[in-house]
Structure 1
Amino acid sequence: MYKKITPLIKVLTLSALLPVYGLAQISQLVVPPAQQEVKVQNVVFDCSSADKKYIASRLWLIDLSIKEYVQNNIPYNVVLTIHSGCTDIVSKKIKDDDKMMNNIQKKLEIVSKHENVSIEACQIAVDRFGIEHHDLHTFISLVPNSITRVISLQNDGYAFIPFSK
C-alpha cells in the first residue's frame, strides 16, 4: 500500500514546489524597476524611396514610435535622413492639389515637433534635384552627404532603419 502512495506524494510535492522554485529563479533574473537603467534608443531612419504612399506610411510609423517612447518614458534620439528619390519631400514648393505631398508635408511637420528629432536632407541630392535652399522647410537641416552621415550615426550606435522601397 505504501508503494502506491509514495509516487503520488512525490508528484504532489514536486507540483507544489515547482511554482515556488520557478518564482525564486525568475526573481533572481528580474531587476526591480527602480534599479533598471533605461537605455537611450538611438535610431536613424534613412529615406531614399520615391514611393510617396510608402514614405507617408513610414512617417506615420516614426511618429507612432516616438509617441511610444514618450509614453513609456524611454529616452530617444531620432534622425531622419532624406536623399535620392525621397529628396523632393523637403521642399515647401508643392502643388496645392497634390494630396499625397500635402499629406507627407503634414506628417513631416508632426515628426519635426517631437523632442530629440533631427530631419536632415542630403545637400548633394538637394542640389542635384534643383531644390533651392530657401525652399526647404525650416525644420530641415542640410548635411553635406547622407551616406557619410549615416555611417557616422551607425558608428555611434544608432539603429539603421531604411526606407528604400
Structure 2
Amino acid sequence: MSSVLLGVCLLSLPLGLTAAEKPDDHRALEGVTSGKVAWDINMGNARSLSLYLKVIDETYEDLKRQGVEPDMVFTFRGPSLPLISTEHEDVPLDEEEHIEAIASQIKDLLAKPGVRMEACSIAARLFGVERATLLPGIDFVGNTFVSQIGYQNQGYASIPIF
C-alpha cells in the first residue's frame, strides 16, 4: 500500500510543478494596456494594511508581467491616517513592527513608476494627524472622496480596502 502511495506522489510531482506557475488573467486584460486603479484605503488595522499592501504590490507586478502598465493612486482616509504618519507614541508595542513594515512598503511602492499616494485632510483633522508627519511622498489633499470621484471619472477602477 505504501509503494502505491509513493507512486501516486511521484506521479503527481510534475503536476505540482506546473500548478505552481501563476495563471494569467488574459480574459480580464484583453485589450487593456493601462491598469488604472484608485485604491480607497480606509483601514485602521496595521497588520491587515501591511498584508493588503503586499497584495497590492503583487497586483502591480502581475499587471507588469502581463503587459499592462500600472497606474495606481492610493487614497488614504479615515483610520488609515495614523498608520501613514511618522508619529507613533500611542501605538501598542505589538503593532510597531507592522507600522514599520507599512512605512517600508509605502516607500517601495512609491519608488515604482505609475504609483502616487494621497492623504485626506479631513481624516487628518479627525484623527489628529499633522500634515508634516505624513510619510514622505504622500500628498496631502482636501478630500479623498473628491479624489475618488475625480479618478473614477477619469476611468480609474475604485477598489476599497476596508
TM-score per shorter chain, which class? Answer: 0.7 to 0.9
User: TM-score, with normalisation over the residues of structure 1?
Assistant: 0.71
**Contact 2:75–2:144 (CA<8 Å) still a contact in 1?**
yes
TM-score if structure 2 supplies the norm length?
0.72
Verify the 8 A CA contact 1:44 1:161 in the aligned structure 2: yes
* 1:73 maps to amino acid: G
Number of the residue aligned with 2:148: 150
* 2:53 paired residue number: 59
Deviations 1:71-121 (A, max 9, x none): 333112101110101111221223695111111111111111111111110
CA contact 2:118–2:141 (8 Å) conserved in 1: yes
| Distance across 2 between alignment mates of 1:106 and 1:80 | 15
Counterpart-to-counterpart distance in 2, 1:38 and 1:122: 30
Gaps of 5+ in 1: 1-35
Q: Distance in 1 between matches of 2:36 and 2:65?
A: 17
CA distance in 1, matches of 2:131, 2:80: 16
Q: Distance in 1 between matches of 2:31 and 2:40?
A: 28
- 1:84 is aligned, of 48, 68, 78, to 78
The alignment yields a C-alpha RMSD, in angstroms, of: 1.9
2:43 is the counterpart of 1:49: yes
The question of whether the paired residues in 1 share the 8 Å contact of 2:118 and 2:140 is answered with yes
Structure 2: gaps of 5 or more residues? 1-29
Identity of aligned residues (%): 24
The 2-side partners of 1:100 and 1:41 are apart by 28
2:33 is matched with 39
Tell me by how many angstroms 1:60 deviates.
0.4
Q: Determine if contact 1:94/1:102 at 8 Å carries over to the other structure.
A: no
3-state SS of the aligned residue for 2:83?
Answer: helix
Matched residues, number = 129
Deviation of 1:55 after TM superposition, in Å, equals 0.9
Give, as a single letter, the amino acid of the residue that structure 2 aligns with 1:114: K
| Alignment of structure 1 residues 50-129 onto 2, 5 Å | 50-94=44-88, 97=93, 98-129=96-127
Query: Residues of 2 paired with 1:70 and 1:135: CA distance?
Result: 32
* Structure number with larger C-alpha Rg: 1
Counterpart of 1:141?
139
Letter in 1 for 2:59: S
The Cα of 1:37 is off from its aligned counterpart by 5.5
Greater displacement, 88-97 / 126-135:
88-97
